[in-house]
Structure 1
Amino acid sequence: FLPLLLTTGIIGKFISIVPQVIAIALLLSLLEAIFILPAHLAEFAKSEAHLDEYFGDHVRHAHTGAARLMYRLARLDWEMRKRVDAGFVRVTQVYRYMLRVALRRRYLVIAGSFLTLLLALALPATGILRFQLFGADYVDRFMINLETPPYYRLEDTSAAVLALERDLMSNIPPHEIAAVIATVGIRQQDEFSNKYGNNQAQVVFDIDEENPACRRPTPILNDLRAVVRRHPAFSFARVEREEGGPPVGKAVNVRIMGDDFGTLQIIADEYKAFLSTIPGVADISDDFERGKNEVHIDIDEGKAALAGCDVAVVGAAINSAFQGAEVSVFRWGNDEVTVRVKYADEHTRALDAIRNFRIVNTRGVQVPLGSIATITRAPGLASIFRRDRKRVISVFADVDDKRITSTEANRLVRSRFGDVGERHPGCTVSYTGEEEETNESLRSMAIAGAIAFFLIFAILSGILNSFIQPVVILAAVPLSLIGVIFGFMVFQLPLGFMALMGTIGLAGIVVNDSIVMVSFINEYRAAWQRRHGIGVDVRANPNRFVNTMARWSSLLRSGPLRLRPIFLCEATTVAGMSTIAFVRSGQEQFIAPMALAIVCGLTFTTVISLLITPCGYAILDDLVLFFFGSGLAPGEDDGQGAA
């Protein structure tokens, strides 16, 4: 778990507490297993004879019924344990038969397991099983971000928002509304910043998710979008859900970079037009905002040169006309007053008046501004975004998770606009938002998984004194994905980040069970070597200096001995996780995929630990015999046949 600390980005910060808490909990559980658990076993795991001996005198000399009650409860517990033991005897007999059959067909079992793994991995690779970073359908509130035209006053924006509020209250069922809060003059721009202005507004629509009659968030979201679309007063409107988990950006976020805003706007319009044709994609917009009307003065440098002017002279004259030129400074009491001379407002508002501005050239002659420049009135730019010194326009869109995922939508967009750089030289496109966070988190988790795999391999190699046995143990980790993938297919849920977290926890359980199985096989063989005096004159190895009968006996006896602890470990884990895994409402559904991954994975890892791991160990024996021979100690004679 500790390599998860290497996960980068916002998601890495979000999950950094998980490996820390788990590491501390596992260290404390180790102390409990070493010191506290033996005391519990000594007190509660008593035999039938010990119960009679312990309670006999107390029952005979008791003045109350307390001792008799305790004795009867203890006897009842013992009887229940005997019945459970009898049931496990029958289960063990069935398992022993299955193990014997699997070992005889060990190559077929291993080949079938890995073929099934390849089939399972093909499901998410081909898009049959969808991937969604965070797929919980739970929302506390919706954020409706609004923007009116830039010339709207604060009162005009307030009136438009009030009309929208009334429309929302009349079209959404009252039992689904907890509160509607409107704010004018500010709205949320992204996860980390706000936008201010007379034409900015935000409506917080809080739903009553605790009401059993309240619908799921997705239908409510669709209704809100339909209501907002009926209000043409807003030049920009986006309905967003406030979701759990770390901020991961928009479902579709295309960043277009270049030097010319005209070209960037053409590309952005192409993206928006294509996104509008994809079913399930909604709230399509961009961040290219037109500002208030401006007067654009485009100077013809050739005409200006002939008239004895240059851009600097014209710019200084225009600045003096609009901003004023400082001509004097005088004292007014204790204050210093600056005197500026500028054109009167009536001479700076009309285009004809601006065209008649007189510019004094280098020869002292007045030149009309309209004779050397083209003067137009057009909307300006409210803001300019840059990245890597390039101008940027970003296209955003949201998706309906029931119809299409962010990964699928971005895949369609990538395939459609793969030639943007060829059609528009100098322009580049990058995909950010949820797509970027997904790729970054998957890359960092892959690195963390590789480091964890190496660390586990190194630890097991040192403990088992073998470089091959850890491979048998760790082979169970990828095979555990079979249960996870097919489980999510059965429940028709997309894989996501929390499912990956559950898979990491599942890998720890699978490794532990396989370690228990391999350790018992080694212990059985080591005990056989000690009984036959091997290990005194030679350095014994559990995989060598063992005859054929001992090899098969170690496999056939270790499995039934470990059946109960492995079954109980996985059964109790499944029972505990089931309370969360199948939750489909409330905040718990955010972590439900993690629990579901463990539950579905454990249903298959039982087969891995009890059947596939012994088959892998048997194949390891075949390889040892093939490359190193029988491995009998000096003086040993293998006269026994195979089991």
Structure 2
Amino acid sequence: VRAGSEYLQIHPDSLIDSSQELGSILISKGDESQVRLRDIANIERGYKEPAVNKLHMDGHRAIGIGVSTEKGGNVVTMGEGIKQRLKELQGRFPLGMELEVIYMQSDMVITAIDAFLVNLMEAVAIVIVVLLLFMGLRSGLIIGFVLVLTIAGTFIFMGPAGLALERISLGALIIALGMLVDNAIVIIDGMLVRIKAGMDPEEAAKEVAGQTSMPLLGATAVAIIAFAAIGLSPDSTGEFCRSLFIVIAISLSLSWVTAMTITPLLGIWFLKPPTDAEKKADKDPYDNAFYNGYKKFLALCIRFRWVTVAVVAGFFALSVYGFQFTDKTFFPASTTPKYRLDVFWSVDQHIDETEEKAAIIEKGLAELPGVTHVASAIGQGPLRFILTFTPEKEHSGFAQFLVDIEDYTTLQDDIKRAEEYVQSVAPDAISFGRTFDLGPSKPGKIEARLVGPDVDVLRDLEQQTLAIMKADGDAKGSRGRWFERVKVIHPKLSEEQADAHGITTRSVALAIQSTFEGHPVGVYREQDEVIPVLFRQPAPLRNDVANLRQIPIWSPVAQRYIPLANVVTGLETHWSDDVVERRNRKRTLTVVTDPTKDSAPKLWKRLSEKIEALPFPPGYHVEWGGEYESSTDAQEALFAPIPMFVGIMILIVVGLFNAIRQPLVIWLTVPLALIGVTGGLLLFKQPFGFMALLGFLSLSGMLIKNAIVLVDEIDLQIREGKPTYDAVLDSGVSRLRPVAMAAATTVLGMIPLFTDAFYIAMAVTIVGGLLVATVLTMIVVPTFYAILFKAKKDDDRNTTPAPASGGGATTAPPAAA
């Protein structure tokens, strides 16, 4: 109300302070007399009936509470805070109430981070031991110190970049570990050769750093850009792996900075000049059986260069052929010791019936070997507790069991055992078990979307599709996402009788709703909660469908209630589609299934050929979702920016050499990595999924980096007057140790990732590709160079390449060597 220049609120006292006081409300009887509501109705406070969903935990009814970390929050801090608060509230729990945890993400994160930190320390230790063994004590300690310093610097910069310590960011450090020492190895190796040749350590440091700064900067930039497609992928998979690119970009950038600053300084301080006796000996550091053997083999390959090319091409063709036999799983399964078991009964089954059947299954699952806890969500999926988990939508005949086991290594055996048990006690249901995915997940690994205008035609296509899926021995859980048609009772209203009693279709609908479900007649406010007030008929009338004809309907004409039978000519029962989904404004019936043994891509290939061969009427077609769609979308998003990044990488390499032939030599070796990739994946029986694809892209950056320093060394020796043929051989010899060391540290540093389900495919891809590609780099790159520059033995002509804009050798000049 307005009071002068102000508005004042008026809050009258409420006459109802509790739900029981609703009974005091006076209702007119129509004859000017009044009665209390409690005199003509039973007032009860309860829950919605029938329930939409229910939850059980270890055989007891439960209420699920989900807590999510706020944006920018720390899940570990949040988890510890929840544990502390629950501990404080433990004493206030009613007698008989217990608290059980279905999933505590903070515990999983702590376990995963601890395991990854151990893997990281193991990888660092492996790399340092390799450096000590093959580079010597002083050189190994210098490079090892610089490596630790680079990792520490990466941790410092991760904070401002908004990155946390998690599976992806820590895995990125392990992936980059071998590359982090590449630059330092080149600097220390160059200084060692010069110092042994009699050069002052400080002069050696200045010369090596000056000559290698631009080539190593360009090579590092190429290695970073090779991961850029991951960081800029716009889909959910790219978002999931974005920290991988950012961490690698930070760490590799820091590795170049430390290689140009701290590494030369430490080399000046700790690398010992040769003694007088060593100077008198003046022994060539490359004059031993290992280097001589490599030089002879390389000379043989260059002499029979076209035979070498033919052999390499043969291996490449064989790898292309063998690649078709690799598995193509999109994302690996999680190693969490938990699996889900989905059971679908008829969609029109009452939820109480579903609960009774689920209780039997829950008890049986709990008695299986190795099972520690069983939670069951009835009527729909549980709260979303994992980012990659999508709960099942509302379905009164659905139950999902979340089963905790002792050891994740027995997951597949446990799932098979559980499936067999459920099929024995619920043969009328569709049941199947699944692990939780580490990447994006869908209702089914295989999804066939049948698109068209007519529901009946789609249902017919659904049956044909299900028949194909069920006929395949590797498909399980085959079902349509519209589920079964349900029985619907349709009262046929007699217009003549309805008009005579003043009854409309709306009043009939309200009467039926009031009888069975309850009709909202008001709300009751209790503090900050609004509770609906429903009017419905007594339980004996609403719990028996036979009483449908006796439903009372108010007749305005007769001024009394009359039974529904007076205004209907009959009750018809027919089948109806309870769910009709549309996608892009078109009716879409999705049929899903999951593989039992083979991978999803193999099963999809078999099924898609048969389903696409079905006689689709005009206007009808099939689209593919599931893992096929996720994989396709992720790869399209990943490949979309790749041409731009490849162009940038090519421009960097061309800019380094200011020529075309040298970059051509380097890029010709990149596809040859497929030889090692195919062999590694087949040997270790790993799939070429999304993570393996990322590994292959990153592998290209590593190979280009190694090839750049080798070709740059060849060019330097040619510019200093050495014949092309001799420069090719001598450069290969001088670059053998740094390239081999860089590859060895990367390969051995990947060993801890072989125990991680998420990264093993990527690790196998990088290890297999790098092992073979390193050999090819030291053989094929010199051979291609000899072909393009027409290098021949005993040819004194110097095919001088164009001067490199960055200049610089990566090791000592020929005189020093």
TM-score range, shorter chain: 0.7 to 0.9
Q: CA deviation at 1:631?
A: 7.0
Q: Could you tell me which residue of structure 2 aligns to residue 418 of structure 1? A: 612
Structure 2 unmatched ranges of 5 or more: 1-226, 513-534, 554-563, 802-817
1:229 aligns with one of 423, 427, 450: 423
| AA at the equivalent of 1:476 | T
Q: Could you tell me which residue of structure 2 aligns to residue 557 of structure 1? A: 730
8 Å CA contact retained: 1:295, 1:375: yes
Q: CA deviation at 1:149?
A: 4.0
Tell me the SS of whatever aligns to 1:246. coil
- Seen in structure 2, the aligned counterparts of structure 1 residues 240 and 50 have a Cα distance that, compared at 3 Å, is farther
Tell me the SS of whatever aligns to 2:659. coil
| AA at the equivalent of 1:39 | L
- Seen in structure 2, the aligned counterparts of structure 1 residues 298 and 507 have a Cα distance that, compared at 3 Å, is farther
8 Å CA contact retained: 2:432, 2:477: yes
Give, in whole Å, the separation in 2 of the partners of 1:162 and 1:225: 16
8 Å CA contact retained: 2:723, 2:799: no
Residue 569 of structure 1 pairs with residue 742 of structure 2: yes
Residue 428 of structure 1 pairs with residue 621 of structure 2: yes
| AA at the equivalent of 2:591 | V
**Residues 168-179 of structure 1 correspond to what in structure 2 (within 5 A)?**
168-170=365-367, 172-173=368-369, 176-179=370-373
Q: CA deviation at 1:250?
A: 2.5
- Seen in structure 2, the aligned counterparts of structure 1 residues 97 and 498 have a Cα distance that, compared at 3 Å, is same
Residue 24 of structure 1 pairs with residue 250 of structure 2: yes
Residue 95 of structure 1 pairs with residue 294 of structure 2: yes
Q: Could you tell me which residue of structure 2 aligns to residue 58 of structure 1? A: none
Q: Could you tell me which residue of structure 2 aligns to residue 128 of structure 1? A: 325
- Seen in structure 2, the aligned counterparts of structure 1 residues 51 and 26 have a Cα distance that, compared at 3 Å, is farther
8 Å CA contact retained: 2:549, 2:565: no
8 Å CA contact retained: 1:252, 1:398: yes
Q: Could you tell me which residue of structure 2 aligns to residue 449 of structure 1? A: 642
TM-score w.r.t. length of structure 1: 0.73
Tell me the SS of whatever aligns to 2:612. coil
Q: Could you tell me which residue of structure 2 aligns to residue 117 of structure 1? A: 316
8 Å CA contact retained: 2:376, 2:400: yes
8 Å CA contact retained: 1:272, 1:284: yes
8 Å CA contact retained: 1:157, 1:184: yes
8 Å CA contact retained: 2:440, 2:630: no
- Seen in structure 2, the aligned counterparts of structure 1 residues 201 and 136 have a Cα distance that, compared at 3 Å, is closer
Tell me the SS of whatever aligns to 2:339. strand
8 Å CA contact retained: 2:345, 2:430: yes
8 Å CA contact retained: 2:390, 2:442: no
Q: CA deviation at 1:418?
A: 2.2
1:510 aligns with one of 703, 714, 719: 703
2:356 aligns with one of 159, 162, 167: 159
Q: CA deviation at 1:468?
A: 2.4
Q: Could you tell me which residue of structure 2 aligns to residue 617 of structure 1? A: 785
Q: Could you tell me which residue of structure 1 aligns to residue 217 of structure 2? A: none
8 Å CA contact retained: 1:143, 1:203: yes
- Seen in structure 2, the aligned counterparts of structure 1 residues 413 and 198 have a Cα distance that, compared at 3 Å, is closer
Residue 397 of structure 1 pairs with residue 593 of structure 2: yes
| AA at the equivalent of 1:207 | I
Q: Could you tell me which residue of structure 2 aligns to residue 607 of structure 1? A: 775
8 Å CA contact retained: 1:351, 1:375: no
- Seen in structure 2, the aligned counterparts of structure 1 residues 49 and 225 have a Cα distance that, compared at 3 Å, is same
**Residues 477-626 of structure 1 correspond to what in structure 2 (within 5 A)?**
477-528=670-721, 550-581=723-754, 583=755, 588-622=756-790
Q: Could you tell me which residue of structure 2 aligns to residue 250 of structure 1? A: 444
2:404 aligns with one of 195, 206, 211: 206
| AA at the equivalent of 1:437 | S
| AA at the equivalent of 2:329 | Q
Residue 140 of structure 1 pairs with residue 334 of structure 2: no
Residue 385 of structure 1 pairs with residue 578 of structure 2: no
8 Å CA contact retained: 1:117, 1:482: yes
Q: Could you tell me which residue of structure 2 aligns to residue 320 of structure 1? A: 507
Q: Could you tell me which residue of structure 2 aligns to residue 545 of structure 1? A: none
8 Å CA contact retained: 1:249, 1:434: no
**Residues 254-273 of structure 1 correspond to what in structure 2 (within 5 A)?**
254-273=448-467
Tell me the SS of whatever aligns to 2:425. coil
- Seen in structure 2, the aligned counterparts of structure 1 residues 203 and 232 have a Cα distance that, compared at 3 Å, is same
Q: CA deviation at 1:201?
A: 3.0
- Seen in structure 2, the aligned counterparts of structure 1 residues 499 and 632 have a Cα distance that, compared at 3 Å, is closer
Q: CA deviation at 1:572?
A: 1.5
Per-residue displacement from partner, 1:136-173 (whole Å, max 9, x unpaired)? Answer: 57342111233444555544333211110222233x21
8 Å CA contact retained: 2:238, 2:638: no
Give, in whole Å, the separation in 1 of the partners of 2:235 and 2:295: 49
Give, in whole Å, the separation in 2 of the partners of 1:613 and 1:202: 57
**Residues 334-373 of structure 1 correspond to what in structure 2 (within 5 A)?**
none
Tell me the SS of whatever aligns to 1:195. coil
| AA at the equivalent of 1:26 | L
> How much is the aligned-residue C-alpha RMSD, in angstroms?
4.2
- Seen in structure 2, the aligned counterparts of structure 1 residues 193 and 16 have a Cα distance that, compared at 3 Å, is same
Structure 1 unmatched ranges of 5 or more: 53-81, 326-338, 358-367, 529-548, 634-643
Give, in whole Å, the separation in 1 of the partners of 2:772 and 2:365: 49
- Seen in structure 2, the aligned counterparts of structure 1 residues 388 and 284 have a Cα distance that, compared at 3 Å, is same
Q: CA deviation at 1:608?
A: 1.6
Q: Could you tell me which residue of structure 1 aligns to residue 669 of structure 2? A: 476
Q: Could you tell me which residue of structure 2 aligns to residue 636 of structure 1? A: none
Tell me the SS of whatever aligns to 1:282. strand
- Seen in structure 2, the aligned counterparts of structure 1 residues 374 and 459 have a Cα distance that, compared at 3 Å, is farther
Give, in whole Å, the separation in 2 of the partners of 1:248 and 1:558: 53
8 Å CA contact retained: 1:251, 1:434: yes
Residue 376 of structure 1 pairs with residue 554 of structure 2: no
Tell me the SS of whatever aligns to 1:243. coil
| AA at the equivalent of 1:378 | H
Per-residue displacement from partner, 1:320-354 (whole Å, max 9, x unpaired)? Answer: 333269xxxxxxxxxxxxx99xxxx89x9679969
